[in-house]
């Protein structure tokens, strides 16, 4: 095992009706003037936004609002949010939505107090934020795990570059209000994308070059089995509250560091490969991951076939037949079958992207920062490896 730090300061308030508490939660954090940040229309249409405003009013908290966050959230709206916060003297950010809204809120929070002239510098690796406004979240989709993670991912829509910025202290939400009922209005596709992302956050940590801890491996395997079982349930019964609740909690646990404790830095190549597809083609994050995961897995499994075989046995519950390599490959196929069962793409063409070799080369150039970086902890991948995987994922 590897030494680790585990820091999860986010206060989780979970269950039916908990959004009514948001005003008092902000008050507890000494928020006096709030920016309520949200997405396109779902939170308005469902009445959630009105309930949030009412709760803030009841707690005597002033607020301004900024909607319009899109999936793969844009840098331009972050700039707008920063200006608005400065003009209005906002001292607390309340994200009402999913990963995109929470990430956009975190970016605004860095932008107001971080110290750099341009908030993109943090994402571009040119600066470190010195401070940030506090952020709280009312979660409406179980997926990205931003409500408990240290991360925020933003797309610079001028260059189509999508990049993340992680900050272990400043990048965490103060609280996460999680009512699984709020996810009952999700379209099937978004539910499926969310479930895939939860699975992927666990797999990215499971496949690590380091030796791991049995307790962490077992938690990860239980989380994967539970997420997959409930994801399947939701394809048949989208209104099943218990399944929604299991998935929502799994989403937070899959990305708050729990399933990586003691396992080192994990892999994360699939996320980096996927970010290029989302940045360039605006593909939903979960679908971008499933489109490349199987190809990544077949490309790297020889690095440690026993690890893939363990996944096949303990998570995909395949019979212990054949060689370790055969079992590893059978497990990869079974995981793809799971994604397929959720109606998610397992190749780029299934995701509607029919890319020629030139475009695939461009993806690899972008993902490797023009050959300047490798991605992946399980097996480090250089630009030519990325290109080979994208080709396999055609
Ligand atoms: O904008 P609205 O109308 O709200 O619609 C959203 C959006 O179209 C809709 N939606 C959300 N809640 C809903 C709902 N529709 C009906 N009912 C509800 N209750 O769902 C769509 C997707 O929302 P989004 O916030 O984009 O989803 P998700 O949570 O998957 O976030 C994806 C973003 O998070 C990043 C991804 O890269 C992507 O940009 N990630 C963030 C991470 C982090 N900060 O730790 C880690 C992840 O790996 C990921 O990279
Ligand atoms: Zn993800």
Contacts from 51-55 at CB under 8 Å and sequence distance 24+? 51/19, 51/20, 52/19, 52/22, 52/94, 52/96, 52/138, 55/19, 55/20, 55/21, 55/22, 55/23, 55/24
* pLDDT, average across residues 52-71: 98
Sorted by sequence, the CB contacts under 8 Å of residue 298 that are 6+ apart come out as 329, 332, 392
pLDDT one-digit tens code per residue, 112-144: 999 999 999 999 999 999 999 999 999 999 999
**Which of 304, 276, 302 minimizes the C-alpha distance to 291?**
276
Q: Provide the token pair at 228.
A: 């997959």
Residue 26 beta carbon below 6 angstroms from any ligand 1 atom: no
Beta bridge partners of 154: 163
Structure tokens at 65: 């609002």
pLDDT given at position 16: 98
The reported pLDDT for the residue numbered 310 is 98
152 lines ligand 1 (CB under 6 A): yes
> Span 237-245, mean pLDDT?
98
End-to-end C-alpha distance for the chain, whole angstroms: 36
User: What is the pLDDT at residue 48?
Assistant: 98
Band of residue 388 on the pLDDT scale cut at 50, 70, 90? very high
**Can you list the positions of beta strands (E) in the chain?**
11-14, 33-38, 62-66, 92-97, 135-139, 151-156, 161-166, 175-178
Q: Which of 141, 195, 231 to mutate to test the pocket of ligand 1 (most atoms within 8 A of CB)?
A: 141
297 in contact with ligand 1, CB cutoff 6 A? no
Q: Is 166 in the pocket of ligand 1 (CB under 6 A)?
A: no
Q: Establish whether residue 105 lines the binding site of ligand 1, counting it when its CB lies within 6 angstroms of any ligand atom.
A: no
**Residue 152 Cα: closest atom of ligand 1:** 44
The whole model's pTM is what? 0.98
Query: Which residue has the CA at smallest separation from atom 49 of ligand 1?
Result: 144
Index of the ligand 1 atom closest to the CA of residue 98: 25
Contacts 24+ apart (CB under 8 A), 331-340: 332/294, 332/297, 332/298, 332/301, 332/308, 333/294, 335/293, 335/294, 335/297, 335/311, 336/290, 336/293, 336/294, 338/199, 338/228, 338/231, 338/232, 339/196, 339/290, 339/293
pLDDT band at 40 (very low <50, low <70, confident <90, very high): very high
Find out whether the beta carbon of 71 lies less than 6 Å from any atom of ligand 1.
yes
pLDDT for residue 162: 92
pLDDT range class, residue 105, cuts 50, 70, 90: very high
- Specify which residues 62 forms β-bridges with: 33
The helix-helix angle for 324-341 and 305-314 (nearest 10°) equals: 50
Tell me the ligand closest to 194's alpha carbon. 1
- From the CB of 74, is ligand 1 less than 6 Å away? no
Residue 367: pLDDT band (50, 70, 90) is very high
* Mean per-residue pLDDT, 298-317: 98
Strand-strand pairing, 175-178 and 92-97: unpaired
Distance CA 380, CA 378 (A): 6
The pLDDT of residue 33:
98
pLDDT at 52: 98
Ligand 1: nearest atom to the Cα of 154: 39
Residue 337 confidence class, pLDDT cut points 50, 70, 90: very high
In the chain, % of residues over pLDDT 70: 100
Residues in CB range of 7: below 8 A, 6 or more apart: 168, 169, 172, 257
- Residue 122 CA to residue 128 CA, distance in Å, equals 6
> How confident is the model at residue 83, as a pLDDT?
98
Pocket lining: 99 vs ligand 1, CB cutoff 6 Å: yes
Predicted pLDDT at 222: 98
Mutate to test the pocket of ligand 1, among 19, 103, 256, 269 (most ligand atoms within 8 A of CB): 103
Report which protein residue has its CA nearest ligand 1's atom 45: 146
The stretch 1-23 carries a mean pLDDT of 97
Distance 285 CA to ligand 2 centre (A): 7
Is the shortest distance between the CB of 149 and ligand 1 below 6 Å?
yes
Residue in 86, 71, 234, 196 with CA at minimum distance from that of residue 242: 234
Task: Calculate how far, in angstroms, residue 200's C-alpha sits from the geometric centre of ligand 2.
Answer: 7
């Amino acid at each position: 095992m590897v030494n680790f730090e585990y820091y999860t300061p986010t206060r989780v308030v979970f269950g039916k009706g908990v959004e009514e508490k948001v005003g008092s939660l902000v008050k507890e954090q000494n928020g006096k003037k709030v920016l309520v940040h949200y997405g396109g229309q779902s939170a308005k249409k469902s009445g959630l936004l009105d309930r949030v405003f009412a709760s803030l009013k009841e707690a005597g908290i002033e607020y301004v609002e900024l909607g319009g966050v899109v999936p793969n959230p844009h840098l331009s709206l972050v700039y707008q949010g920063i200006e608005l916060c400065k003009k209005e003297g906002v001292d607390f950010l309340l994200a009402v939505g999913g990963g995109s809204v929470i990430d956009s809120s975190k970016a605004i929070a860095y932008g107001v107090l971080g110290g750099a002239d341009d908030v993109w510098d943090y994402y571009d690796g040119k600066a470190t934020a010195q401070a940030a406004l506090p952020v709280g979240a009312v979660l409406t989709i179980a997926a990205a795990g931003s409500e408990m993670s240290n991360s925020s991912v933003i797309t610079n829509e001028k260059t189509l570059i999508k990049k993340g910025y992680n900050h272990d202290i400043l990048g965490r939400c103060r609280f996460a209000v999680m009512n699984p009922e709020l996810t009952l209005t999700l379209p099937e596709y978004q539910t499926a994308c969310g479930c895939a992302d939860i699975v992927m956050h666990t797999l990215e940590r499971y496949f690590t070059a380091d030796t791991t801890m049995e307790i962490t491996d077992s938690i990860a395997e239980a989380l994967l089995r539970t997420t997959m079982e409930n994801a399947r349930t939701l394809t048949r019964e989208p209104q099943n509250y218990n399944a929604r609740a299991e998935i929502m909690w799994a989403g937070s646990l899959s990305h708050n560091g729990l399933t990586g404790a003691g396992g080192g830095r994990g892999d994360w190549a699939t996320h980096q490969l996927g970010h290029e597809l989302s940045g360039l083609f605006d593909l939903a994050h979960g679908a971008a991951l499933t489109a490349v995961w199987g190809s990544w897995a077949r490309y790297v499994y020889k690095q440690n076939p026993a690890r893939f075989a363990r996944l096949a046995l303990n998570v995909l519950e395949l019979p212990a037949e054949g060689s370790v390599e055969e079992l590893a490959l059978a497990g990869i196929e079974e995981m793809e079958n799971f994604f397929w069962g959720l109606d998610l793409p397992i190749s780029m063409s299934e995701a509607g992207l029919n890319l020629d070799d030139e475009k695939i080369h461009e993806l690899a150039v972008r993902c490797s920062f023009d050959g300047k970086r490798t991605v992946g902890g399980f097996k480090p991948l250089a630009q030519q490896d990325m290109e080979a995987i994208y080709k396999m994922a055609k």
